[in-house]
Amino acid sequence: MTASASTPRPEPRGPVDSSRIPRFAGPATFARLPRLDEVGSADIAVVGVPFDTGVSYRPGARFGGNAIREASRLLRPYNPAQDASPFALAQVADAGDIAANPFHIEEAVETVEAAADDLLATGARLMTLGGDHTIALPLLRSVAKVHGPVALLHFDAHLDTWDTYFGAEYTHGTPFRRAVEEGILDTSALSHVGTRGPLYGKQDLDDDEKLGFGIVTSADVMRRGVDEITDQLRQRIGDRPLYISVDIDVLDPAHAPGTGTPEAGGLTSRELLEIIRGLASCRLVSADLVEVAPAYDHAEITAVAASHTAYELTTIMARQISA
């Protein structure tokens, strides 16, 4: 949503007032925000992709977007950690879901890319709720059409730079290898954050390094601390357009049991939120949050963490839009 110098910027329509209508009532849009069709256009479109055909272990992330929306009923309009009211700074709206073919991965990838193209063409930035990590590739393709090759921060327990699974090139473990091969990432500014756990072999790390990725493990965050790690990430990103992709399994299973491929020894939800808040000065052009699988999520622990993570990312984008 843009306005000319002579046209006053319309006041954003914010969320339902929870002091008048209980949080548990009404439709579960993200943060109880209006639907995109209710406001016409948006600065930030929150869109779901209920797709998990690309997973290699536990399925269920196709239900993740709606689980995050339900948990986001608890979000309030003022974010004290960033001293901002994001929904008053920019028009944020829930754009519903991109319906992708659950029986054909390649077709689904094409569908997600085309839908993301349409949303980005309106001038919106995307906050995408997955779904599995396969969807990061078509989203990055779309963003790169607008901004050129982008810097990437990838929060995940896993590298997701493997070549194939069972001969399949498009899975939740391969999107960032494909993205580098397609030239849509700025290979001088790529970082994994929170990686840990066993690999197939040391060659996995060698291949990942050749693609241009730096690695900050979950143990690095524990030993060096959030502030030092965040400063390192900011320096690597610089002023490049930045895409952030968050696999919720970056969190320890104690903080995110509801995910498809859990690994012990992960970040706490506090560490993840603080690192993201520390990136507020970076030029965040879009983001995704994936791999929430509510069937394994006890008491909505994972969905709550995911909703707050999406809220922090949305706040960063809203602050930059209003600046």
- For 167-209, the pLDDT digits (tens) are 999 999 999 999 999 999 999 999 999 999 999 999 999 999 9
Average pLDDT, stretch 250-257?
98
User: How far apart (Å, rounded) are the C-alpha atoms in residues 51 and 102?
Assistant: 6
Q: What was the pLDDT predicted at 264?
A: 98
- Residue 108 pLDDT class (50, 70, 90 cuts): very high
- Residue 277 pLDDT class (50, 70, 90 cuts): very high
- In this structure, is the dihedral angle defined by the CA atoms of residues 181, 184, 188 and 191, taken in order, positive or negative? negative
Closest CA to 191 of 163, 222, 171, 221: 221
- Residue 6 pLDDT class (50, 70, 90 cuts): low
Q: Residue 156 is which amino acid?
A: D
Average pLDDT, stretch 34-56?
98
**pLDDT value at 128 more than 90:** yes
Q: What was the pLDDT predicted at 163?
A: 97
Query: Mind listing the pLDDT tens digit for each residue in 73-88?
Result: 999 999 999 999 999 9
All residues at 6 or more sequence positions from 149 whose CB lies less than 8 Å from its CB, including other chains = 183, 184, 185, 186, 187
Contact 49, 98 (CB under 8 A): yes
* Helix H or strand E segment including 277: helix 269-277
- Helix residue ranges, H only, 122-266: 136-147, 175-181, 202-211, 218-224, 226-237
Q: What was the pLDDT predicted at 9?
A: 72
Q: What percent of the chain has a predicted confidence (pLDDT) above 90?
A: 97
Q: What was the pLDDT predicted at 10?
A: 83
Q: What was the pLDDT predicted at 43?
A: 98
**Domain definitions of the chain by residue range:** 30-322
Q: What was the pLDDT predicted at 230?
A: 98
- Residue 2 pLDDT class (50, 70, 90 cuts): very low
**pLDDT value at 307 more than 50:** yes
Average pLDDT, stretch 83-105?
98
- Residue 1 pLDDT class (50, 70, 90 cuts): very low
Contact 29, 310 (CB under 8 A): no
Query: Mind listing the pLDDT tens digit for each residue in 206-249?
Result: 999 999 999 999 999 999 999 999 999 999 999 999 999 999 99
**pLDDT value at 311 more than 70:** yes
Q: What was the pLDDT predicted at 169?
A: 98
Residue 147 CB neighbours (<10 A): 19
All residues at 6 or more sequence positions from 316 whose CB lies less than 8 Å from its CB, including other chains = 82, 276, 279, 280, 282, 284
Average pLDDT, stretch 36-59?
98
CATH class of 30-322: alpha beta
Average pLDDT over all residues of the chain: 96
